[in-house]
Chain A
Amino acid sequence: GAGVSQTPSNKVTEKGKYVELRCDPISGHTALYWYRQSLGQGPEFLIYFQGTGAADDSGLPNDRFFAVRPEGSVSTLKIQRTERGDSAVYLCASSLTSSGTASTGELFFGEGSRLTVL
Chain B
Amino acid sequence: AQSVAQPEDQVNVAEGNPLTVKCTYSVSGNPYLFWYVQYPNRGLQFLLKYITGDNLVKGSYGFEAEFNKSQTSFHLKKPSALVSDSALYFCAVRASYGNNRLAFGKGNQVVVIP
Contacts and interface: CB of A to CB of B under 8 A. Distances in A.
Nearest to B41: A111
B90 A42 contact: yes
22 contacts: A35-B104, A41-B107, A42-B104, A45-B103, A48-B99, A55-B100, A56-B99, A56-B100, A56-B101, A59-B101, A97-B100, A101-B97, A102-B32, A102-B96, A103-B94, A103-B100, A104-B49, A106-B49, A107-B46, A109-B36, A109-B44, A111-B42
B63 interface: no
Interface of B: 4, 6, 32, 34, 36, 41-46, 49, 51, 90, 94-107
Contacts of A91: 43-44
B102 A107 contact: yes
A42 B107 contact: yes
Interface string A89-117: 00101000100011110111111100000
Interface size class of A (residues with CB under 8 A): 20 to 34
Interface string A25-38: 00000010101000
Contacts of A109: 36, 43-45
8 smallest beta-carbon distances between A and B, as pairs = A42-B104, A109-B43, A111-B43, A109-B44, A106-B46, A42-B106, A43-B104, A104-B51
Contact of B90 (A40, A43, A111): A43
A21 interface: no
A67 interface: no
B94 A102 contact: yes
